[in-house]
Amino acid sequence: MSRPFLFSQLSPGRQALVRLCQATNYGVIERLHVRGFEPTQEPPPFVMKDLKLDHDEELRPELELTNFELRSEVQRLMDHLDELCNGIVERLEVHAGVPRRIVVCLPGCFASCFQRISRGMPDVKEEHDETV
């Protein structure tokens, strides 16, 4: 997928994720399922907002815009969704409506590592020792 630079270039599922980040403003989105490179709302992710009690929270001004340029963090998030394909974003941290950090669960990741070991592939230390 080519890198989208404008909100309007995103698929509806990815637009919904950007809007969820904007609406969250400050907080965490957990257990976001990704299927076929697309974030899904089934099952719905857990959203936890971080609210300050010393003042009222203002809505993100981008929520009113129909199109806008995407921040580099949003573009990187989309790149990670492209790499993930099918899996779960366990934790997505949002600051000022922008995704800042993710933790992903890669299905089958450990299985592929164990398959490498069982096929007799050298581990990293052994490879390093041979090249030194």
- Residues of the chain predicted below pLDDT 50: 113-114, 116-117, 124-132
- Dihedral (C-alpha) 15, 47, 105, 13: value to the nearest 10 degrees? -20
In the chain, which residue ranges form alpha helices assigned H by DSSP? 12-24, 72-84, 109-118, 124-131
What is the per-residue pLDDT for 57?
81
What is the per-residue pLDDT for 84?
86
What is the per-residue pLDDT for 120?
55
Whether cis (ω within 30° of 0) applies to the bond prior to 45 is: no
Q: Which residues contact 76 (CB under 8 A, 6 or more apart)?
A: none
User: How far apart (Å, rounded) are the C-alpha atoms in residues 91 and 32?
Assistant: 8
Query: 104 is written with which tokens?
Result: 């992903």
What is the per-residue pLDDT for 109?
55
What is the per-residue pLDDT for 93?
98
User: How far apart (Å, rounded) are the C-alpha atoms in residues 120 and 132?
Assistant: 21
